[in-house]
Each structure stands twice: as C-alpha cells, then as structure tokens.
Amino acid sequence: MFASLLAATVLLAQAAPADAAAAEAAKAAPTKAAAEEKDPMVCKNEAVIGSRMPKRVCALKSVWDARKQEARDNLEATQRAAQAPRGN
C-alpha cells in the first residue's frame, strides 16, 4: 500500500511541471502570433551585382524600415559633406 502511494506521489510530482510547461507554452503562442501580426515578415527580391538572378531576402518589416532609415541618413550625411565649404 505504501509503495503504491509513494509511486502515485512521484508520478504526480513529475506530471505537474510538464503541465505547467504546456500551460506556459500555450500562453506564449498567442503572444507570438500577435507580435507577427504587428511586425510581419516581408520578402523582397534584391539585385545581385554580376548576376541576372535576383536574391530573395526576407526580414521583419521593422528591419526593412530600419535599413531604409539608415540608407536615408547615410545619403543625407554624404550630401552635407559634399556641400560643406572647404578652406584653402
């Protein structure tokens, strides 16, 4: 009798963390889906120098926006440097 009670207790103790992990995973899944809705994956074809075949590049929309902003900032910095007066 004591052995069966001990075995049942051990089984319940082992099942509880698994149930908690499953519940935690279920909570995380909707959050991940909601995050993907807000920041979707976007794929674009980019030209490759020396090739006729474009390369497909996929990234999150926020990453594409950051790349676009960085390119714009670099262009503006280059233009400002070109217009700056040079001392002779």
Q: What is the pLDDT of residues 15-59, one digit of tens each?
A: 555 555 555 666 666 666 666 678 999 999 999 999 999 999 999
* pTM of the model as a whole: 0.53
Q: What is the mean pLDDT of residues 60-71?
A: 97
Mention every residue, 6+ apart, whose C-beta is less than 8 A from residue 44. 56, 57, 58, 64
Residues, the chain = 88
Query: Is residue 81 helix, strand or coil?
Result: helix
pLDDT value of residue 13: 59
Q: CA-based angle 79:81:83, to the nearest 5? A: 70
